[in-house]
Amino acid sequence: MQRNRYHHLEWLYGIDFFEAAFSTQTFSRHAHEGFAIGAIAEGAGGYLCRGESMVLPAGSLSLMNPEEAHTGHAAAERVRYNMLYASEAAVRAVLGVRTLRGFAEIAPRDRDYKLSQALVRLAECLNSAQMADHRLAVEEAVHAVLATAFALYGRAVLRQPGNEPAAIRTMLGFIEDGLVAGEALSLTDMAAAVGLNPSYLIRSTVRATGLTPRGHVLRARLNHARRLLLDGAPAAEAAIAAGFYDQAHLIRHFRRHYGVTPGALIRH
């Protein structure tokens, strides 16, 4: 059975993430300083909020504005949900927006489960100790949650992705330099290197290349590992040199990218 986990991202504007799974726990009347963005994954949750008693079944979202007082409890035998907490300043910094109008509805249905899936992806990133460029993965996952939540339900207007070939070339060079130096790469550092907001950089990179910045980092690491393997390096050494957690981690991504394991790579 999943246990409750509470993640505090001190390095990422103090954003918090709660993986909740309980049946008897209740929350007294309280409010959050920032936004609370969540999705019910299993069972049903209950609120007393805005003078109304609410039941949120699986598939519902839970979208709270700052300082919105409410209670909380399981409205079924068991409830499981993921919830992100972010201050207004954190949301503005991540998304690069000045104006936040907040959420009009507390419990809308999740459109095509996009926000639920983004929250699940963030949980996976936070719980994966074997992920190369862990912070970069978390940064992109947090961005996906906030961009989805505020674009679809918070009436936020995000800057449209533009044509940024020079910035993308600079970013790719930054990735190669970091890989050679054996450095961990972060979205914040890449965005600073090209002089763009991280959110805008993600969306512009996807528009131009079909990959996120982390997608380009992973591709660069795989290319580096491939070169080392072709030069005769053992897979375990190539994995560490290219920035993977271990040989198994390299094998998993190598198979996804090239369709074979490193052992099937033949030099002629």
pLDDT for res 2 = 61
Average pLDDT over all residues of the chain = 92
pLDDT at 43 over 70: yes
pLDDT at 131 over 70: no
**DSSP sequence for 62-130:** EEE-TT--EEEEEEEEEEEEEEEEE-HHHHHHHHT-S-----S-SSPBPGGGHHHHHHHHHHHHHH-TT
For domain 165-264, give its CATH number from 1.20.120.80, 1.10.10.60, 3.30.200.20, 3.40.50.20: 1.10.10.60
pLDDT at 58 over 70: yes
What is the reported pTM?
A: 0.90
Domain boundaries, the chain: 5-152, 165-264
List the structure tokens of 64: 């709270």
pLDDT for res 216 = 96
pLDDT at 1 over 60: no
pLDDT, average across residues 156-175: 95
pLDDT at 222 over 70: yes
Question: What CATH code would you report for 5-152?
Answer: 2.60.120.280
Q: How many Cβ atoms from other residues are within 10 Å of residue 202's Cβ?
A: 23
